[in-house]
């Protein structure tokens, strides 16, 4: 569905897109927010809890030294509202480096409710997403622009997260009515939670949303897709432990396990060729998606393509989950 220029301009004004630019005030506010939140995340993950990271070198290498112009898209499960930024707080990872920090997709209705919140989350490299507006909303175009610069974008299998990175800083300096809002925020290179919501029950990875797959297909340069699975953050920030609610602060003394997979290999050209031959399907309610050129992929073809790619990412993540589960049992 096309978005008018006026609507796009209004959205940009409301969400303070200018504040997310690297050159805003010479990058000082961004560096301050990311540095402060990163320091707190590192303290919790590296000092106050016990954290083991498997295959961390793969993440280090792709974040700091991937080929120039090649975007990175990390995809992980979503166990708690502090997954991001805490999952980047392990020893040796440059979480406080604002230039290397990821971009992350965030819920506009929670994180961009007013000017103050919009400004803080923009400094945390968050891209707002309007829930229910579909994969062709203007904010998804912004995410594509981030990928086009060769940046790291982080997504979660839950589709959206709420940036606790900025929340961690603000909870120490803010006691006003916005405090509760910051529990559900996100951070960036471009990381996503494609499952759709927080899940603390250790069940198999659920069916993924299509937003991540659409970013891969529509990106000007195909990103490296890196799956990550973790466990333990649901104990650091349990959903119901403090009078039936989340605790006011993250808990300590817990065991955190993170496993980084290998990049998911897609034969994207081959998949597009197969998708282009998919017969017209009128059994679903059409959303009015534009045709992807030059392959001429209509909405039916895109649905098939996004499902195939999402299934492959889900399978890779489930394999990592089982590996992590087995390692904990030995």
Q: What is the pLDDT of residue 87?
A: 95
Section 281-292 average pLDDT? 82
Picking from 273, 272, 262, 276, the residue whose alpha carbon sits closest to that of residue 313 is: 262
| Interval 183-193: pLDDT, tens | 333 333 465 55
Q: What is the pLDDT of residue 12?
A: 61
Residue 255 pairs in a beta bridge with 50
Confidence label for 163 from pLDDT (cuts 50, 70 and 90): low
Percent of the chain with pLDDT over 70: 81
pLDDT at 181 over 70: no
Greatest pairwise CA separation for the chain in angstroms: 58
Percent of the chain with pLDDT over 90: 62
Q: Which stretch of DSSP H or E encloses residue 273?
A: helix 268-276
Q: Considering just the CA atoms, what is the radius of gyration of the chain in Å?
A: 19
Chain length of the chain: 330
| Interval 223-258: pLDDT, tens | 999 999 999 999 999 988 778 888 989 999 999 999
Q: What is the pLDDT of residue 133?
A: 87
Confidence label for 5 from pLDDT (cuts 50, 70 and 90): low
Given 3.40.1130, 2.60.40, 1.10.3470, 3.30.450, which CATH number is that of 5-266? 3.40.1130
Give how far Cα 114 sits from Cα of 45, 199, 238, 247, Å.
Answer: 31, 28, 28, 25
Q: What is the pLDDT of residue 329?
A: 72
pLDDT at 56 over 90: yes
Please give the structure tokens belonging to residue 188. 């960036």
């Amino acid at each position: 569905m096309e978005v008018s220029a006026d609507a796009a301009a209004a959205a940009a004004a409301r969400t303070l897109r200018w504040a997310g630019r690297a050159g805003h005030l010479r990058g000082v506010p961004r560096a301050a927010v990311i540095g402060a939140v990163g320091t707190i995340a590192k303290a919790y993950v590296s000092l106050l809890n016990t954290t083991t990271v498997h295959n961390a070198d793969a993440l280090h290498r792709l974040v700091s030294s991937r080929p120039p112009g090649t975007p990175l898209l990390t995809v992980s499960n979503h166990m708690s509202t502090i997954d991001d930024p805490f999952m980047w707080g392990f020893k040796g990872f440059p979480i406080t480096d604002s230039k290397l920090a990821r971009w992350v997709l965030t819920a506009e209705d929670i994180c961009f409710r007013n000017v103050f919140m919009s400004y803080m989350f923009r400094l945390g490299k968050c891209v707002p997403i309007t829930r229910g507006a579909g994969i062709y909303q203007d904010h998804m175009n912004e995410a594509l622009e981030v990928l086009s610069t060769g940046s790291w974008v982080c997504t979660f299998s839950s589709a959206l997260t709420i940036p606790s990175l900025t929340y961690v800083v603000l909870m120490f300096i803010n006691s006003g009515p916005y405090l509760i809002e910051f529990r559900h925020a996100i951070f960036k290179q471009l990381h996503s939670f494609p499952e759709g919501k927080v899940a603390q029950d250790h069940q198999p990875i659920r069916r993924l949303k299509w937003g991540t797959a659409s970013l891969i297909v529509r990106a000007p340069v195909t990103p490296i897709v890196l799956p990550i699975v973790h466990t333990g953050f649901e104990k650091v920030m349990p959903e119901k432990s403090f009078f039936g609610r989340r605790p006011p602060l993250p808990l300590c003394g817990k065991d955190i396990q993170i496993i980084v997979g290998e990049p998911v290999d897609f034969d994207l050209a081959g998949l597009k060729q197969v998708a282009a031959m998919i017969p017209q399907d009128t059994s679903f309610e059409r959303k009015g998606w534009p045709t992807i050129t030059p392959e001429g992929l209509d909405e039916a073809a895109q649905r098939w393509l996004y499902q195939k790619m999402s299934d492959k990412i889900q399978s890779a993540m489930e394999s990592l989950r089982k590996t992590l589960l087995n390692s904990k049992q030995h």
